[in-house]
Amino acid sequence: MSQQNDLIKRIKVHYNQLSKGQKLLADYITNHYEKAVFLTAAKLGTIVGVSESTVVRFANELGYDGYPKLQRALEELVKNKLTSIQRVNVTSDRIDKDQILKHVLHADMEKIKVTLEELDNDHFNKAIDYIMEAKTIYIVGVRSSASLAGFLGFYFNLMFDNVKLIHTNSVSEMFEQIHRISEEDVMIGISFPRYSKRTLKAMEYAKSRKGKVLAITDSPISPMVQFSDVSLVARSEMVSFVDSLVAPLSLINAIIVALSMRKKDTIVESLERLENIWNEYQVYENDDDINLNYSLRLDQH
């Protein structure tokens, strides 16, 4: 059961046993979850007209270990319910327009910190094992997660010969690209709120074909988890109508580094060959080019 359903269910189950003040809190959260999620216990109490201690007791009454746990449940509720327009409006209410840069960067730093604290290292190592052992590696990430999938696919193609980055805007085309997946393969699904149905369908299909399925998502209760053998959680932050993907990108960096350590000899050989190709076909700007261009500019003056 998802956390968002669990929160609403808890309120309904406990509603008749709540005190008058706690019922006011329950009503406010149910009707104004998009505002309540960003309120401290004290601020929520002030708005509803009850004390901060009543807010804390309300969280405990619903079975949460303190108000922060209730707020986390609210965050999960909000992520899937808010439209892009609502996200913009909510952000306008909670961010000082003169402190946008500071707020966003601090939020990104906090998400990386929380990700580091919560990520299960055993799950991480198991994911690395699955990737190393796979006959074919499928990577699925669409919409905002397409950038993460593309980044992962770029470096995987430098390390492996068996990578399929799924590019599609339709469900039918997606299945045409993944229909051969088998128990020897692994699928890496990447999705963050609002979760993509296409990615979920791909993971469900891979699971039905007995392929190994890895999820890179934002929460242990993400809908991605139900179809995955291993879930790697990286916290994301709602910033206006966009989602911060800094922590997920850091997690993907860690995956790439871990695999590069496992395949060090093979990667060095491949990179040496690629460096020769890049130099021959002038793929990258090099020091000689820079010095030549600088000399030409000096001559022109």
Lowest mean pLDDT among 34-43, 155-164, 291-300: 291-300
Contacts of 248 (CB under 8 A, 6+ apart): 148, 190, 192, 216, 218, 234, 236
Selected residue with higher pLDDT from 40 and 128:
128
| CATH number of the domain enclosing 24 | 1.10.10.10
Q: Which pLDDT belongs to residue 178?
A: 96
Max avg pLDDT among 98-112, 128-142, 156-170: 128-142
User: Which pLDDT score, from 0 to 100, does residue 1 have?
Assistant: 37
Residue 183 banded pLDDT, cuts 50, 70, 90: very high
DSSP string, 216-244: EES-TTSTTGGG-SEEEE---EEETTEEE
Quick check: 3 pLDDT over 50? no
pLDDT band at residue 122 under the 50/70/90 scheme: very high
pLDDT at residue 44 is higher than 50: yes
Domains of the chain: total: 2
- Residue 238 binned pLDDT confidence (cut-offs 50, 70, 90): low
Count CB atoms within 10 A of the CB of residue 160.
18
Q: How far apart are CA 206 and CA 114, in angstroms?
A: 30
State percent of the chain over pLDDT 90.
51
Residue 280 lies in a domain: no
Instruction: Give yes or no: residues 129 and 187 share one domain.
Output: yes
Same domain assignment for residues 22 and 162: no
| Higher pLDDT among residues 185 and 168, named by residue | 185
pLDDT band at 116 (very low <50, low <70, confident <90, very high): very high
What CATH number is attached to the domain comprising 183? 3.40.50.10490
CA gap 132, 147 in Å, rounded: 23
**66, two tokens:** 């303190």
Alpha-carbon span 298 to 228, nearest angstrom: 59
Residue 93 is assigned to a structural domain of this protein: no
The C-alpha atoms of residue 120 and residue 124 are separated, in whole angstroms, by: 6
Q: Is the pLDDT of residue 76 over 80?
A: no
Domain check: are 10 and 123 in the same one? Answer: no
- Does a structural domain hold residue 298? no
**Same domain? 198 vs 156:** yes
Tell me what pLDDT residue 297 has. Answer: 60
Name the residue range of residue 237's domain.
114-262
**Residue 242 predicted with pLDDT over 70:** no
| Whether residue 36 is found in the same domain as residue 149 | no
Q: What is the pLDDT of residue 240?
A: 45
- Is 7 part of a structural domain of the chain? yes
**One-letter amino acid for residue 270 of the chain:** S
pLDDT in the model for residue 2: 42
CA pair distance 258, 250, nearest whole angstrom:
12
